[in-house]
Structure 1
Amino acid sequence: MSYGNQGDGGYGSQPPGGGYGQQPPSGGGYGQQPPSGGGGYGQQPPSGGGGYGGGYGQQPPSGGGYGQQPPSGGGYGQQPPSGGGYGGGYGQQPPAGGNPPDNHLVAAILTTLFCCLPLGIVSIVKSSQVNSKWQVGDFQGAALASEEAKTWWKRSLIAGIIWWVLVILFYVVVFVLLAASVPSSSY
């Protein structure tokens, strides 16, 4: 079955000089070396030596050629060097352990309920950022959010302890003052 006439360029016809994917016979093109002079990357020169293409498969001494990475670094697929921490940047591999840092969510919730509401809310927000940053590959940001969550729940705990100590002292002072002002009765 034919989708067109092979000779006049309809659908399915072959281009002149060969099928698709072949190189033109005149030389040049991608993946093909010029037919004359100097050797080339994979050709043997007619004289048997000279140039930098003096044998099969030899590469030029200065590097280059198709498919090679530049010698000075860079290039596609390479990660930029990072400076400490978990490396920072999206798309990098997780640290050796592979587990996200502790998000301190339980401590954040408990200190919010029993100690200091405003500071505890900040701790909950920071602890919720740990896992989301870890999932997108921001390992340094996840570690930083974990440390901030820990700092805020500790602040909430300290503020709660100070608050409850002050409340207890207030009631003790009020009770002592009321007890002193009431006359004692004797029967």
Structure 2
Amino acid sequence: MVSYPKDRFDETPDDIERVGAHRGPKRRGRGWIGLAWALLATGALVLGGLFALSQYLGDDLGIPLFATPEEPIITPEPEETVAPLTDPTTIDPARALTIDVFNGTAESGLQTVVLDKLATEGWPVGSATNASARDIEETYIYYSNPADEDVASGLVSALGLGEIRFIEPDIFPAAPITIVLGSDYNPSSE
């Protein structure tokens, strides 16, 4: 066997733990760092490729991350319109309708003027009183039974203004139809 002569590099002091950079001990956890960089690079390449495909093919990929949001198509439900009842004498007495009038304006006595006008035209009237608020701007006709929509629409024609609104029966429990006068009502315009 061949032996080489010893030189000064063969003898190392005992207090030095490391002998050359290539022979040093590996640090703990270095494998995880390499794996993390590899996963990051792979993810970036995959996302970049998907983005490029979505630009090339359009929204045909079916990937929500890259799809452009579509505007929802809203189709309004057709409203069923009920023909207004313009002749109050044709109201069936079995319906037991009464029309109450609330005055939501600052003008006193307007509710009785409207109630008297409706009574002379033949509408089935109930009572008239002031509303709890006296600063209501628009006139509304409230009805609690869907079958009474024709009468509420007819009252809009009789008053010459107003808007009908369906309400729950427990809001005005004693009155099937309630008119709330607003400041838009002008009795002198009749």
Q: Which has the higher contact order (CA 8 A, sep 6+)?
A: 2
Larger Rg: 2
Q: TM-score, normalised by structure 2?
A: 0.22
